[in-house]
Structure 1
Amino acid sequence: MDILCFFHKMPIIKKVITKNEDSRAVVVDFQNGKIKSQECDNLESSLYRSEDGKRIAGVTNGSLLYTGLIDTDNDLYNNFLLVHNKVTGKVRLIQVDCCTVSACLDKKNNNIMDVSEASASNSITELNKQFGSKRSKRSTEQRERLNMDINTVKEQLEETVSNIKIDETDTVSTAPSENDNVYRPKINRDASTVDQVYNLEDIVPMSVLNTLSEEAVEIIEDADLTKNSLAPFISKSISEILEYAPDELKIHRITIFLYINYLIKFMNTPVKNFTKKFILCDRSPQVNNHILDNYSIITASHNRTRPLTMKDKVLCSILVLAALAMDYEVNIEALAKDFKIGIKKAMEVSRVLAFSPSAKNKNVVTLKLPLPEPVSFSLKRKRR
C-alpha cells in the first residue's frame, strides 16, 4: 500500500521532446573547473560547424575562449533534460547534446592564448576564422585589416612630423625648383618686350599648328561655331578673334585655340580610352601625335597613360598659348570650368608662369613687364 501511494504521487511524464541535431540545446561541461553562479551572466556562447561538418561549441567570458566538439556519433544513448513543473506536477523530457569545452590553445606555442585584453567580440572573431563559413571568414579578415594600432600610428605620425622643417619666415617659395622646367614652358626673364617672354615654338612648332589652318579657314568662312566640337572657353575666344583681331592674324590665332581645344579634349578623355586605335585629332595626324607624345607616356606593357603630373604641364601650355593668341590676357574663370579645376588652382599656376591679376577683372590674368618675382610650384604655408 505504501509503495502504491509513493508511485501515485510521482510526477507524470506528459511530453518527450526530440529535435533534429541543429535545433537541440547543448549542455556544456568545463574540463578544468566549474563556472561560479555569479559569472554565468557574463558568458556568451555560440555554435559553429567546421569544414568537415562537425559541430563546435564556443563559450567566452570576455577574457578566455573555450571550445569543444559536439560528438553525437559515438553516443550509445540519447541525453534528455528533465523539466518538472511543480504546480501541475507534469514533467517534460527534452533531448539535448553534451559537450566538454576546454581553453583554446595557441597552436604555435602550445600555450593558452594570451587574451588578457581580448573582448568577447575578439573571441567570436577567432571562432569565425576557425569554424565559420567562407563568407564569414572573408568578412572577418576584411574587418581585421581595417583595425589599426592607434599607438603605432601615433608614433609614426609624430616621427614624421618631427622630421619636417618649416621655414616660418616665408609664405611662398620664391626659388624655382628643378622640376618646374618639366611643367612650364621656357621663360625669358630678360625680355625687353612682352612678346619675347615666351616663344610659341617651345610649346608647339609652327609646322604642327599650320596643319590646322584648313580647319581655321572653315571657321572663318562659315562663322558658325556650333558645327565644331569646341569647348565654351575656346568658342568664346574664337568669337572674339573673329570680331576684333586683324584679318592677317585670324588664321594663326584660331589655329592656336584649335590646338588648345584638342589639349582640353585630351585631358577630359578617360585614360582607359587610350588604346592603340585611339585618335585625338582626326583633322591632323601631326597634332594628334604631338599631343600624345608630349603629354602622355608609354608604359612597360606598351600601353599609353597620362600621369597626374601632366595636368599641370597641359595647364601651363594652355595658359601661355591662350595669352599669345589673345594679346596676353586670359580669362581664368572660363578656362578653369572647361579644364575642370578650381579658379584658385588656375590662379596659382598663372603666378608660377609670371602672370599678374588684372586690375579691371579679378578673373583675368595678364602677362606684362616688368615680370613679378619668380614663384615655385612648391608652395609653403605658415604654420598656424
Structure 2
Amino acid sequence: MPTEASSVPAASSEETPLAQSFAATRALSEALVEPLSDADATIQSMEDASPAKWHLAHTTWFWETFLLRDHVPGYERYDADWPFLFNSYYEAEGARIARFSRGLLSRPTLGEVLDWRAAVNEAMEPLLSDPACKDLIRLGIAHEQQHIELLLTDIKHALWHNPLGPAMWDAAPGPSAPAGEQGWHEHPGGIALVGHDGSAPDEAFAFDNEGPRHRVLLEPFALADRLVTNGEWAEFIADGGYDTASLWLSDGWAWVGETGARAPLYWREGEAFTHAGWQKRDPHAPVTHINYFEADAFASWAGMRLPTEFEWEAIARGQDGSASATAHDACAGNQLDDAAAPAPRGGKELFGDCWQFTRSAYLPYPRFRPAAGAVGEYNGKFMSGQFVLKGASCATVRGHSRASYRNFFYPHQQWQFTGLRLARDL
C-alpha cells in the first residue's frame, strides 16, 4: 500500500515536539485512507459508524473551528457550507447534518477533503509554536488520534458488509502464541488514588473526564494477567452461553433475543473478518468485538466478574501505556508498507490489544467540571448510560492511552476492538 501522506511532510528535527506530533497525526490519518477508493471512503454502514472521508473532514473542521477561527486574525473558512456537514455533536457550533446521513455525502469528494486538509495544515503552522494555543493543539491532536481509531473500526464494519469480504491490508496478522494458564495480579485493597493529576511527564495531557484525581476504597481483589481468548469464548458458546438466561443481565438477555446473537461480531464458522478480509480464526488470540452484555455473561459463566475501572487502574498505575509491544505498527506512524492488519495478538501487557470492559458506569469524578465553551461538550455530556473501558487496542495510536484513560461505550455496541479481562474477589 502507499506509504506517504498527501499533505503533511515529515516533521524536521528542528520542529517542536508539538509540531512533530501534529504532523505525524495528520499524516497517519491520510496514510490510512490511501488504499480506499472514493466510494470506500464515503460509505456508512450504521449510525454508530462514520465514513472514512467524514473522519478526515471532521478532524479538519475541528482545527478550523477551535484554533484557526479564533487565533488567526482574518481567517476565512475554506468553505462556509462545510461546518454544517462536519460538525459532530457540538450544539454551541450550530446546526449540523443528521448523523445517519453522513454516508450520503458524495460531495465534497475525497480529493477535495484532502485539499482542505492541506490548506488547514499550512494555516496551522504559525500556531504550532504559539504557547497560547498549546493546550488546544494538544486536545486537537488527541481528538484526531481518537478518530484514527474510529476510522479503522468504522471501515472494518463497512467492508464486512460487502459479500466479497474485501481486504484493506494485504498482510494478515500472524498467529498468536498459546495464552497459557490464567495468572493473577493480586491487590490487598485499601485507599487508592485514581484519576489524572498532570504531574508525571508521560501524563502531561489528559482529557477532562480523567480527573480530578481522588481517593477510592478498594476491597481485596485480583485482576487476570491476560485477556480471554477466542478459544475460551468458543467453549462458552459450546456450553450454551448464548442460550442460558441465568448468565445474562436482563437487558443483555433482551439483546440476545432481539438480535439472535450467537457469537462475537465478525465471527462465522471457523473464521473471523479482519482488515485483511476473512481469515482463519486464531484460538489463542484475545477475543474481541464483544459488547458489555457479552463480557458480563462470560464472566458469570467463568465464575468471575468484570473489574471496576478503579481496580484496573490500581494495577496499571505506573505502567507505561504509551509504547506497548502489542500496539499495532500501523498506529506508530505513516510508514505502513510492512504493517499487517490490526488485530489483537495476546500477551501479558495491560495495554495494546483490546479495550477492556469494566463494570463501572461512565460518570463524573468528584469535583469534575466541564471546560468552558464548546470544547466543554467533548466528554461531560455523554456521562449517561455508558460503561468505562480501560487500556488500549491494536487500533489505538501509540502514546494515546494511559492508566487514567477512560474510554466509554453503550452496553450493546460491539464494533470497536473490545475485549475482556476477568477479575475476582479475594
**Which TM class, normalised by the smaller chain length?**
under 0.3
Could you say which structure has the higher strand fraction? Answer: 1
TM-score (normalised: structure 2)? 0.18
- Which of these two proteins has the greater Rg computed from alpha carbons? 1
Structure with larger RCO (C-alpha < 8 A, sep 6+): 2
**Structure 1 length-normalised TM:** 0.20
Higher helix share: 1
